[in-house]
Amino acid sequence: MGGKSVNLPRHHRPPPASPRAVNSAAASPATTAPEMPHHPSPPSLRPPALPRRLLTRRRAVLACAAVAVLAAAAALLLAAPRTEVPGRALLVAGSLVLPRPPRTREPHAAAGDALSLPPAPAPPPPLKAKASVPSTIVPAPSIFLAAAPSPVENFDDRSMEEPERPDMKEDPLNESAPFLQEPISSGSPTMSSDVTKDPHKSRNAEPHPKPQIPLWSTAADEELIYAKKEIANAPLVFGDPDLYAPLYRNVSVFKRSYELMERLLKVFIYHDGAKPIFHSPELKGIYASEGWFMKLIEADQNFVVRDPNRAHLFYLPYSSRQLEHNLYVPGSNTLDPLSVFVKNYIDMISAKFRYWNRTKGADHFFVACHDWGPYTTKLHDELRKNTIKALCNADVSEGVFIRGRDVSLPETYVKSARRPVRDIGGKPAAERSILAFFAGQMHGRVRPVLLKYWGGKDADMRIYSRIPRQITRRMNYAKHMKSSKYCICPMGYEVNSPRIVEAIYYECVPVIIADNFVLPFDDALDWSAFSVVVAEKDVPSLKAILLAIPESRYITMRSNVKKVQRHFLWHAKPVKYDIFHMILHSVWFSRLNQVHQVEQ
pLDDT above 70 for 21: no
157 secondary structure, DSSP code? T
User: pLDDT per residue over 469-478, tens digit each?
Assistant: 999 999 999 9
Confidence of residue 42 (pLDDT cuts 50, 70, 90): very low
Cα R_g (the chain), whole angstroms:
33
User: pLDDT per residue over 510-551, tens digit each?
Assistant: 999 999 999 999 999 999 999 999 999 999 999 999 999 999
Residues 6+ apart with CB under 8 A from 559: 429
How is 267-293 classified by DSSP, letter by letter?
EEE-----TTTBS----SBTTHHHHHH
The pLDDT, as a whole number, for residue 422 is 83
Can you give the length of the chain in residues?
600
Parallel/antiparallel/unpaired status of strands 434-439 and 509-513: unpaired
Dmax of the chain from CA atoms? 125
Cα(228)–Cα(509) distance, integer angstroms: 34
CB atoms within 10 A of CB 139: 17
Write the CA distances from 134 to 272, 339, 374, 509, integer angstroms.
18, 11, 21, 48
Summary mean pLDDT of the chain: 77
Cα(594)–Cα(600) distance, integer angstroms: 18
CB atoms within 10 A of CB 157: 17
Q: Which of 17-31, 46-60, 153-167, 498-512 has the highest mean predicted lDDT (pLDDT)? A: 498-512
Across 34-43, 150-159, 341-350, least confident range: 150-159
Between residues 238 and 32, the one the model is more confident about: 238
Backbone angles phi, psi at 31, to 5 degrees: -115, 10
Parallel/antiparallel/unpaired status of strands 90-92 and 95-97: antiparallel
What is the mean pLDDT of the segment spanning 239-244? 94
Q: Which long-range contacts (CB under 8 A, 24 or more apart) does 17-24 make?
A: 17/52, 21/52
User: pLDDT per residue over 202-230, tens digit each?
Assistant: 434 455 566 667 787 889 999 999 999 99
Cα(335)–Cα(372) distance, integer angstroms: 8
Write the CA distances from 13 to 2, 23, 51, 66, 475, integer angstroms.
20, 18, 10, 17, 103
Alpha helix positions (H), 353-402: 355-359, 381-385
Angle, helices 320-327/336-352, rounded to nearest 10 degrees: 120
Cα 559 to chain centroid, rounded: 34
The pLDDT, as a whole number, for residue 381 is 96
User: pLDDT per residue over 282-320, tens digit each?
Assistant: 999 999 999 999 999 999 999 999 999 999 999 999 999
CA angle 491–472–447, rounded 5-degree value: 20
Angle, helices 288-298/579-594, rounded to nearest 10 degrees: 80
Q: Where are the beta strands (DSSP E) in 422-465?
A: 434-439, 461-464
Cα(155)–Cα(165) distance, integer angstroms: 15
CB 522 within 8 A of CB 194: no
Across 132-141, 335-344, 439-448, 495-504, least confident range: 132-141
pLDDT above 50 for 425: yes
Handedness of CA 240, 242, 244, 248 (dihedral sign): negative
Residues 6+ apart with CB under 8 A from 408: 390, 391, 392, 394, 401, 517, 518, 519, 520, 521, 522, 586
Q: Which long-range contacts (CB under 8 A, 24 or more apart) does 149-156 make?
A: 150/282, 150/284, 150/285, 150/325, 152/284, 152/285, 152/286, 152/287, 153/284, 153/285, 155/285, 155/286, 155/413, 156/477
User: pLDDT per residue over 97-116, tens digit each?
Assistant: 333 333 333 333 333 333 23
What is the mean pLDDT of the segment spanning 88-95? 33
Residues 6+ apart with CB under 8 A from 203: 397
Instruction: Return the amino acid letter for 496.
Output: N
Cα 80 to chain centroid, rounded: 30
Cα(150)–Cα(287) distance, integer angstroms: 11
User: pLDDT per residue over 363-403, tens digit each?
Assistant: 999 999 999 999 999 999 999 999 999 999 999 999 999 99
pLDDT above 80 for 341: yes
Cα(151)–Cα(159) distance, integer angstroms: 12
The pLDDT, as a whole number, for residue 403 is 93
Backbone angles phi, psi at 298, to 5 degrees: -75, -20
CB 411 within 8 A of CB 389: no
